Amino acid sequence: MSRSPLEALARTQKLVVCVGSGGVGKTTTAASLALWAALSGRRVLVLTIDPARRLANSLGLSEIGNEEVRIPLERLLTEATGAPEPVPGGQLWAMMLDPKSTLDDVIGKVSKDTATRDAIFANRIYRSIAGSFSGSQEYMATERLYDVYGSGRYDLVVLDTPPVKNALDFLEAPGRLARFLDRQVMKWFLTPYDEEGGVGKRLMLGTSAVVYRLLGHIFGREFLKELSVFFTLFRDLYDGMRERHEAVGRIFGDPRTTFLVVSGPNEPSVDVATFFVQELRARSLKIGGVVVNQLHRARLVNPDVDALLGRKARELDPVLAPQVLARLGAAHRRLRDLAALERQWVGRLAAAAPGVPLVEIDRQPGEVHDLSGLLLLHRWLFAPI
């Protein structure tokens, strides 16, 4: 019997990135993996970019903020029967990304003085971009990741990604930002505004002149002026931010980084998972496993309900027994058909990810919302294959 593929991953990796479509148990999987690694003695942070409060939910907390929160593992021993004694030294931390305050932190860190920082905070454009526009979550996620990864406080960071349809956005974000922060590009924008007086003081020829006029026409002079102030304030920050984003790109490609593709047993999520497998492979990023969550199981094909339960049910309630037995039969047929359909989707996913270990997790009776719930998942996540 060989060890579970995820066990090696939880023991040795420095970063595990969980990807997949929404609603497939990605956050729960991330939290459960983190808990396992923490119990086995590693210092682990699980970081979610999900704007929903799902990580807090699944850890049984009412709130997690932009700061790292330590989850007391001792709680498990009182909460769950049969919980393993944590290996000394293990720690579990959780953090949920708040894009706005993360951006503020970053600006605080890379600003050369408090005056620059305060000017940026006061800028109308800054206030409106921080945290609200498409892609900002992904930028900030990589920022936060860079911080915690490099802090030395954790042996393992488990990153739970947002359920974006264009799901690799967060991988692209550093590249896009780096392009945006390209010095040459910035120079091009700032040139006409650099000296007091703004546009018009400088003689522009050809395309540039047309372009500026058009931009002024579209966005209004006021906005362009404000934007140039924004860019000017940011100018000294570019190098710092760019370096950080390039570093994150390197972290994703590091040999101790692994991606975990999470899916449900249905067409839309298998579709997204397949896409992830292809995209990650195209980027030569390491896939440690495919986790299929929420599987329904039925082992019986055509059970004889009356033979199995009839006598017992009639003893308990002779009046209601017939209809309850009929219902159990019908419910079982539906469950069986569903389980059979799900097998097909799992098969399709396995075929799309040859050579990648596939881990199946049965649907849990209730929703997982505490440490003992996460502990129950270990039986599947870390089952030997």
Partner 1 sequence: MADQPSELPADTSVLFRSRVLFLTGKGGTGKTTLAAAIGRLAASQGRRTLVCELDNQRSSLTAIFGKTPTYQPTSVAPGLSVANIEWMPALDDWLADLVGAGRIVRMIMKNRMISIFLEATPGARDLMLLHRVVKLAEQFDLVIVDMPASGNAVGMLSVVGTSRRLFDAGPIRRCAEEIDAMFARADTNLVLVGLPEEMVVNETVETRGRVTAELPRLHQPLVLLNRATPATLSDGERALLDQLEGGELGVEARELVDAGRWEERLESATAEALGRLRAVVPVALLPVLARGEGAARVVGQLTAALARQSRAKVDLVGDVPG
Binding to partner 1, residues 144-183 (CB under 8 A): 162-167, 176, 179-180, 182
How does DSSP classify residue 67?
Answer: S
Token pair for 174: 């550093």
Contacts with partner 1 by CB under 8 A: the residue count is 84
> Would you say 49 and 162 are in contact if contact means Cβ atoms under 8 Å apart?
yes
Which listed residue (338, 350, 376, 383) binds partner 1 by CB under 8 A? 338
Integer angstrom CA distances of residue 19 from 1, 2, 291? 28, 26, 10
DSSP string, 73-114: THHHHHHSTTPPPPPTT-EEEEEE--HHHHHHHHHHHH-SSH
How far apart are CB 115 and partner 1 at their closest, in Å? Answer: 23
Closest CB to partner 1 among residues 23, 41: 23
Token pair for 343: 């097998």
Closest CB to partner 1 among residues 78, 128: 128
Is position 289 an interface residue for partner 1 (rule: CB under 8 A)?
Answer: no
Closest CB to partner 1 among residues 254, 370: 370
Which listed residue (317, 347, 379, 385) binds partner 1 by CB under 8 A? 317
Is position 227 an interface residue for partner 1 (rule: CB under 8 A)?
Answer: yes
Which listed residue (115, 299, 351, 354) binds partner 1 by CB under 8 A? 299
> Which residues have CB under 8 Å from 304's CB, separation 6+?
none
Closest CB to partner 1 among residues 185, 385: 185
Is position 122 an interface residue for partner 1 (rule: CB under 8 A)?
Answer: no
Closest CB to partner 1 among residues 4, 27: 27
Token pair for 289: 């496993």
Is position 369 an interface residue for partner 1 (rule: CB under 8 A)?
Answer: yes
Closest CB to partner 1 among residues 140, 156: 140
Q: x/- contact string, 187-226, with partner 1 (CB under 8 A)? A: -xx-----------------x--xx--xx-xxxx-xx---
Is position 348 an interface residue for partner 1 (rule: CB under 8 A)?
Answer: no
DSSP string, 148-216: HHHTSS-SEEEEEPP--SSTTHHHHHHHHHHHHT-HHHHHHHHHHHHSTT-TTSS---HHHHHHHHHHH
Is position 132 an interface residue for partner 1 (rule: CB under 8 A)?
Answer: yes
Closest CB to partner 1 among residues 72, 220: 220
Site for partner 1 in 79-118 (CB under 8 A): none
- CB atoms < 10 A from the CB of 271, how many? 16
How far apart are CB 366 and partner 1 at their closest, in Å? Answer: 8
Query: Which is it for strands 91-96 and 69-71: parallel, antiparallel or unpaired?
Result: antiparallel
Site for partner 1 in 18-57 (CB under 8 A): 21-24, 50-54, 57
DSSP string, 284-352: T--EEEEEEEEE-----SS--HIIIIIHHHHHH-TTTHHHHHHHHHHHHHHHHHHHHHHHHHHHHHHHH
Question: Taking contact as CB under 8 A, which single stretch among the options 145-153, 245-253, 284-292, 303-311 is the one that binds partner 1?
Answer: 303-311
Token pair for 312: 């017992």
How far apart are CB 220 and partner 1 at their closest, in Å? Answer: 4
Is position 351 an interface residue for partner 1 (rule: CB under 8 A)?
Answer: no
Least Cα distance to 245 among 288, 181, 293, 310 occurs for 181
Is position 278 an interface residue for partner 1 (rule: CB under 8 A)?
Answer: no
3-state secondary structure of 263: strand
Question: Taking contact as CB under 8 A, which single stretch among the options 60-68, 85-93, 132-140, 195-203 is the one that binds partner 1?
Answer: 132-140
How far apart are CB 109 and partner 1 at their closest, in Å? Answer: 21
3-state secondary structure of 259: strand
Is position 345 an interface residue for partner 1 (rule: CB under 8 A)?
Answer: yes
